Amino acid sequence: MKTNPNAKLDEDWKSLDGTMVLNIPFPEDWTDDELKRMKPIVVKFPYQVNYLHSYGQDSPWFAALSNGQLLGTRCKECGFTTANPKLACQECYTPNSTEWVKLPMEGKIHAFTVCYFGAEAFLDQTPFILGLVEFEGVDTLMLTRIVGLDPEEATLDWIGLEVKAKFTKLTQIKPTDVYFVPKS
């Protein structure tokens, strides 16, 4: 079998305008059986996307996180308070009836789960604890990561455990900029 003299048979990468390719030999005289045994072609190339995203009405919530604060919303009509931003009240359904309020920095674990699988960003952190935190005077719960407890030692004794908010040092303007740790 004759091979193309320009192709490398070893596993050296070859650059083509920034694209890296591997295993691209091709026989000049080929048979169907030879092509079926051909190694897979692997392509490595630079990839960049400028993605614009707006948090719109929720922007104050993310700005608060990046400044080490927690905000929620309270309905001016019925007083229903949420741990996550809402423009309309989810209790009385009054549109544009909410106002921003400062949330407590401490709460209690209402429920939790140990995650052994997660999105790509969290795969290297599994297992981790995802919990619902309840705050005094707030009608809804906040879904967040619980850090500082051993996922392998999970126990129902954690229900009701007092926790406090912590914030990442370098904000990414994401909900994961806040997490909770046991208050002790």
* Predicted structure pTM score: 0.72
Per-residue pLDDT tens over the stretch 41-78:
777 777 889 988 888 889 999 999 999 999 999 999 99
Omega into 127 within 30° of 0, i.e. cis? Answer: yes
Q: What DSSP string describes 155-182?
A: -GGGTT-EEEEEE-SS--SSGGGEEEEE
Per-residue pLDDT tens over the stretch 128-149:
999 999 999 999 999 999 999 9
Per-residue pLDDT tens over the stretch 74-95:
999 999 999 998 999 999 999 9
